[in-house]
Chain A
Amino acid sequence: MSSIVSPPSDWCRAPAGHERIWLGLALGWCLVLSLMMPFWHFKGKQNSRGEAYAVKPDAFLARAEKFIAANKVGEEKQGPNVIPIVEPPPGGDAYLVARMWSWNPIIKLRLGQTYRLHLSSIDLQHGFSLQPLNMNFQVLPGYDHVLTLTPTSKGIFPIVCNEFCGIGHQMMVGRIVVE
């Protein structure tokens, strides 16, 4: 029967032959796909739990400024702006403010230490994209998105914005330095 005419009345039949084997294989593969995620959640080291807290943009900015004042180790001139360089205590909290079109501050981390990195925006949505590792997380205004992060390689890691945030979007580049 063609697919553009009504089928004969006895069309409801169990699959057989190759089709039946393929159905079994496909279903089995789908089970593998679904079990991989809970497996990695418990056994893997990279997960996105979405840990977040409600925060008003100005409150987040105030927390970040307090964090910068307490842990500042230097600063860097970028055009008209001066961006502070901040080294949070190992095992402690770090704050990163996203705004059109900068990441503030530059954060220095120690290899092998674990930090709680707080991400939020004070204007539009932004995308935290750590290069060249290519780790990506969403940054929203009103949400303090907490990543528990352990750097395992040294170097300079640019933070690119990968959520469109206006005409200067492509200029929004920050930095994490691991020593």
Chain B
Amino acid sequence: MSAIAIPLPSGLREVAADRGRLCATTGLPVCAVAQRFIKLNAVTAVVFLLVGGIAALLLALTRWQAVHLLNAEWFYRIVTLHGLNMLIFWILFMEVAILYFTCTTPLNSRLFSEKVAWVSFGMMLVGAVMVDVVILKGQADVMMTSYLPLLAHPLFYLGIILVAVGTLIGVFNFFATLYVAKRDKTYEGSVPLVTFGATAAAIIAVVTLLHGAIVMIPTFTYSMGWTPAPDPMWYRLIWWGLGHQSQQVNVCAMVAVWYFLSSVTVGARPLNEAVCRGAFILYVCFINIASAHHLLVDPAVGASWKIWNTSYAMYLAVLASMIHGFTVPAGVEVAMREKGYLRGLFGWLTSAPWKNPGFSGFFLSLVIFGFGGGITGVTLGTEQINIIAHNTLRIPGHFHVTVVGGTTLAFMALAYYVIPLIFQRDFVGRKLARLQPYIFGFGIVLVALGMSFAGSMGVPRRSWDISLAGAYGPAAHLMLGVVGIGGIIAFAGLLLFCLLCVGTLLFGESNQGRAMADWGVAQPATGAAPVRLEEHDHNATKGTFALALIFLACFAVYYFANWKALADVWPVK
């Protein structure tokens, strides 16, 4: 594991050992309290992932019109369950785990407070279980968005408020830890990039959760009959301050995971810290106006408001993603070239450790997020193009390659390191684990393709049956079949992941006192002398640059094809 061993100043060793342990693999200090809550949150996250995954399979097998498994009532109930468990519970619990890691180990710090961590975890867990029970009892068939005047049982809103406040308390623990680490000078200079990215995610999370409180509290009091009904358009505007920004928390956390995994699997380093950090700051500054993406064909918000807000002020947050999409693979390329993989444009990429699920999972996440999620997201979120996309299956087609193919896959890849390093157990079923990212990635890409094509043919999202409309032909039905098959494959990948994680926790061999079993990190090429490339060698990243140009070309083709499709429909204003 030479790629991830990091020398620690000797003075810090004793301090670190005093409040936890030194990692036998990396040499980094692990705070015992943080470790306990990373474990708790990560395990809970995987349980919710499994609940959401079972829901996903049922939905895929229902929208596949030839199978049509659930009845209408249960279909809508399970859509609600799926959305909340996947988008909120799985991801938030995992993100709290990531926050606790990034504010302790990389900073040689202890977690600020064990009590606060318990309060946060307890509130989140109670809230999430409350929401799931209310949904399964059939008292909240309102979708994740719960658009007013549609009304759920008050405990549904109360559960969401508990999860949001619990998360907010976890985020507070993160910031307090940053403060304590800075005050006690546990590290020198600037915080590491991974911590910086997590901090950006935490800042966005605060803004997001405040939106959640603003919209959910009056909705809760209304559902209790205490206050009058909030305006439905006001609800949409504020709710999406929660709904969309929370996805930006995911993007931020995912990018931080990309940087982390590229470091531990191939020894990549950020090409230019200033550029990477600047891109995170762009997220923080400009993402909060992305709420407008969901209101582009709404009444009462005008064209100039829509244009300014949908473009995140000249697309500066999109710019941030395009920067990370370049700097992460560029870091991998430089590291691989320094190891002697110099052949051609892509020799560095083909020689990368593709059998390491930490690497393959993260790199697939990067490609799926960029080529799939990024291009479709910007295009569908264009003010006028949204007319031919709003509320069709194109929308879930987009976010299943951002949140699932991107964030979820990156978090799965992370688990292949979290479990050996934090739970100190080596994975069981290592051959299957090496395949898992590919199975899951392939399945989810199929799901997204099926959804996107069906949506282009006008098939609505969140609809139990499209045959009643009489508007959809065999091609649309075929595409829903693709969604069904992709859903089965993705679920197989997800189930495999959950079984491997649980199996490892129960039966995995303990690696206490020794380095974790190596997944296969990038080694220097045989016969090549290790080189240190110039910080900005003009030819060092030509492979990444070529990939970036291909990306831009795909983006332009998809984007302008959509303008053409829009130009073909009836004039409207």
The residues of A with any CB-CB pair to B shorter than 8 Å are 1-9, 11-19, 21-23, 25-27, 29-31, 33-34, 36-38, 40-41, 44-52, 119, 123-125, 127, 129, 131-138, 140-145, 147-153, 158, 160-171, 173
CB distance from A119 to the nearest CB of B (A): 8
Say yes or no: A45 contacts B571, CB within 8 Å.
Answer: yes
CB distance from B25 to the nearest CB of A (A): 13
The residues of B with any CB-CB pair to A shorter than 8 Å are 4, 6, 28, 72-73, 76, 79, 105-106, 141-143, 147-150, 187-194, 231-233, 259-260, 262-264, 267-275, 295-303, 305-307, 310-311, 314-316, 318-319, 322-323, 326-327, 330-331, 378, 382-384, 386-392, 456-458, 460-466, 468-472, 535-538, 540-542, 544-545, 548, 552, 555-556, 559, 563, 566-567, 569-573
- Give Cα A152 to B73, complex, Å: 39
Query: Which B residues lie within 8 Å of A49 (CB)?
Result: 302-303, 573
Say yes or no: B388 contacts A8, CB within 8 Å.
Answer: no
Query: Which B residues lie within 8 Å of A14 (CB)?
Result: 274
- Give Cα A132 to B262, complex, Å: 45
Query: Which A residues lie within 8 Å of B188 (CB)?
Result: 6
Query: Which B residues lie within 8 Å of A168 (CB)?
Result: 72
Query: Which A residues lie within 8 Å of B274 (CB)?
Result: 11-15
Say yes or no: A8 contacts B392, CB within 8 Å.
Answer: no
- Give Cα A7 to B544, complex, Å: 23
Say yes or no: B190 contacts A3, CB within 8 Å.
Answer: no
Q: Could you list some 29 contacts between A and B, CB below 8 A?
A: A2-B192, A3-B263, A4-B6, A6-B189, A15-B274, A18-B330, A18-B544, A29-B322, A30-B314, A33-B318, A33-B378, A34-B315, A44-B567, A46-B567, A47-B383, A48-B306, A49-B302, A52-B300, A132-B471, A134-B457, A135-B569, A136-B387, A147-B573, A149-B570, A149-B571, A160-B471, A162-B390, A164-B462, A170-B463
Residue of B nearest to A125 (CB): B147
Of A14, A33, A135, chain B has the most CB atoms within 10 Å of the CB of A33
- Out of A19, A41, A131, A165, which one reaches B541, CB within 8 Å? A19
- Give Cα A9 to B190, complex, Å: 7
- Give Cα A143 to B190, complex, Å: 51
- Out of B149, B301, B316, B384, which one reaches A40, CB within 8 Å? B384
Say yes or no: A4 contacts B263, CB within 8 Å.
Answer: yes
Say yes or no: B150 contacts A11, CB within 8 Å.
Answer: no
Query: Which B residues lie within 8 Å of A4 (CB)?
Result: 6, 28, 105-106, 192-194, 260, 263-264
CB distance from A106 to the nearest CB of B (A): 14
CB distance from A142 to the nearest CB of B (A): 7
Of B297, B389, B462, B540, chain A has the most CB atoms within 10 Å of the CB of B297
- Give Cα A27 to B231, complex, Å: 38
Say yes or no: A160 contacts B311, CB within 8 Å.
Answer: no
Say yes or no: A129 contacts B566, CB within 8 Å.
Answer: no
- Give Cα A129 to B267, complex, Å: 50
CB distance from B184 to the nearest CB of A (A): 15
Query: Which B residues lie within 8 Å of A161 (CB)?
Result: 460
Say yes or no: A167 contacts B461, CB within 8 Å.
Answer: no
Say yes or no: B299 contacts A140, CB within 8 Å.
Answer: yes
Residue of B nearest to A165 (CB): B150
- Give Cα A163 to B193, complex, Å: 41
Say yes or no: B392 contacts A134, CB within 8 Å.
Answer: yes
- Out of A37, A119, A163, which one reaches B310, CB within 8 Å? A37
CB distance from B113 to the nearest CB of A (A): 23
CB distance from A14 to the nearest CB of B (A): 7
Query: Which A residues lie within 8 Å of B150 (CB)?
Result: 124-125, 164-166
Q: A13-B274, A50-B300, A170-B465 are in contact. Are A26 and B536 (CB under 8 A)?
A: no
The 10 closest A-B pairs by CB, nearest first: A52-B299, A162-B460, A145-B299, A30-B315, A131-B471, A11-B273, A45-B571, A16-B536, A134-B458, A162-B391
- Give Cα A34 to B316, complex, Å: 10
Say yes or no: A143 contacts B299, CB within 8 Å.
Answer: yes
- Give Cα A9 to B188, complex, Å: 9
CB distance from A44 to the nearest CB of B (A): 6
Say yes or no: B386 contacts A167, CB within 8 Å.
Answer: no
Say yes or no: B387 contacts A48, CB within 8 Å.
Answer: yes
Of A140, A141, A158, chain B has the most CB atoms within 10 Å of the CB of A140
Say yes or no: A25 contacts B552, CB within 8 Å.
Answer: yes
Q: A44-B567, A167-B72 are in contact. Are A33 and B559 (CB under 8 A)?
A: yes
Say yes or no: A29 contacts B552, CB within 8 Å.
Answer: yes
CB distance from B208 to the nearest CB of A (A): 23
- Give Cα A31 to B305, complex, Å: 18
Of A6, A12, A16, A165, chain B has the most CB atoms within 10 Å of the CB of A6
Say yes or no: B306 contacts A142, CB within 8 Å.
Answer: no
Query: Which A residues lie within 8 Å of B537 (CB)?
Result: 17
- Give Cα A13 to B535, complex, Å: 11
Say yes or no: B299 contacts A51, CB within 8 Å.
Answer: yes
Q: A19-B272, A135-B387, A164-B143 are in contact. List 8 more A-B contacts (CB 8 A).
A: A6-B191, A19-B326, A30-B316, A31-B314, A37-B307, A125-B232, A148-B573, A170-B465
Say yes or no: B563 contacts A1, CB within 8 Å.
Answer: no
CB distance from A32 to the nearest CB of B (A): 8
- Give Cα A38 to B382, complex, Å: 11
Say yes or no: B300 contacts A127, CB within 8 Å.
Answer: no
